[in-house]
Chain A
Amino acid sequence: MPHRGQKADVLQGTLDLMVLQTLAVLGPLHGYAIASRLEQVSSGALQLNMGTLYPGLMRLEQRGLVHGKWGVTANNRKARFYRLTSAGRRELDNEKAEWDRIASIMHALLHEAS
């Protein structure tokens, strides 16, 4: 079903972008922190489940955009922290620019004065 496949790709693409942006703004975070930050920023609209978030993080790591390492939280708990790599930073900038470009095109298209 090509339609569903496309939607999944779009979702994955935006998830990547959101994660990269979060790490750029807040520095290294563990998975749960990323998820709750995104939930907070989206006012509850974005509720990532583990089956989406962690494979996504794994993929970013496989692509070399983030680097994961075990560390300890403020409460002395063992957690895996992800930080942005320089490649990740470059990718973030590119994706941001691309997103802005598409958004402005769509905006112009959907709100054009007749």
Chain B
Amino acid sequence: MLREWTTRLWGTFRGRRDDRDLEQELRLHLELAAEDARRRGHSPDQSTRDAAIRAGGISQAMEALRDQRGLPWVADMAQDAGYAIRTLRRSPSFTTVSVLTLALGIGATTAIYSVVDTVLLQPLPFAEPDRLVRLVENVPARVAGRPPLQRAVSYQDFLEWRTRSGTLYDMFVVGSLGARTVRTREGTARLWGAMTSADAFTLLGARALLGRTLLAHDESNPNVVVISFDTWRRIYQSDADVVGSTLELIGAVPAVG
């Protein structure tokens, strides 16, 4: 049983008798059958016809042989696929609706997955991302039963945490500035920004392509700005002269403290 199925599995793919070979064998069978009939005294035409009838059609036999040659489900699957295509061709409106529905479903699923992949599954583009943790402060909600609130950490608390922590190698703090308007050569642009402690870039393993990232002494001078590669490309047209130039923010900037 296993041997038969192994040979048939093999036969589906290679090393099997091809159609021509099989047909040759069948044709000889018909010839010999016709000859025998003639020998028995029938007319040549009658013999050929009789023999053909008695032996059964070549095409039928070929079908049965093909079934036996490969695994039945492969042959059936191919047959069903052909039948499906023919049927679908006959009712174009149904086919269109089906295809659109499938396309919509597949497209939506793919979109969702790619978001999940990027946000949840891909590792963060930082050095040793598995060692990166985010610390937040949860404040119990004032109304009982509500989930706790997350509150921004004050700078003093951050310094305390950094000094006191025995498990973490180091810490840096990030404070979002939200979107700010920036004056550019052409006019203005909206950019997202954040304030960080000086060693943020070092701890993340991010290095500057041009110029430098923040250093320790920048903490006494809060007006140092690092721009992202994308911003450099889009807003400053990859101009190398932007290093050392002044970035003008419109609106108030909160003081560090």
Contact = CB atoms under 8 A, between A and B. Distances in A.
Given A31-B25, A58-B65, A59-B68, A64 B56 contact: no
Q: Is the interface of B mostly helix, strand, loop or mixed?
A: helix
Contact of A63 (B3, B11, B58): B3
Contact of A32 (B32, B56, B61, B65): B32
Contacts of A51: 56-57, 60-61, 63-64
Given A49-B54, A51-B56, A79-B25, A58 B68 contact: yes
A32 B4 contact: no
20 contacts: A31-B28, A32-B29, A47-B54, A49-B56, A50-B29, A51-B60, A51-B61, A51-B63, A55-B67, A58-B17, A58-B69, A59-B68, A62-B8, A63-B4, A63-B7, A77-B31, A78-B24, A78-B28, A79-B28, A80-B25
B117 to A, nearest CB: 46
A94 interface: no
A104 interface: no
A30 interface: yes
Given A32-B32, A51-B63, A63-B7, 17 more contacts: A31-B25, A31-B28, A31-B29, A32-B28, A36-B36, A47-B54, A50-B30, A50-B55, A50-B56, A51-B56, A51-B60, A54-B22, A58-B17, A58-B68, A62-B11, A63-B4, A79-B25
A47 to B, nearest CB: 6
Interface string A27-67: 00011100110000000000101111011001100111000
Q: Is the interface of A mostly helix, strand, loop or mixed?
A: helix
A59 B65 CA distance: 9
B7 to A, nearest CB: 4
Interface of A: 30-32, 35-36, 47, 49-52, 54-55, 58-59, 62-64, 77-80
Nearest to B59: A51
Interface of B: 3-4, 7-8, 11, 17, 22, 24-26, 28-33, 36, 54-58, 60-61, 63-65, 67-69
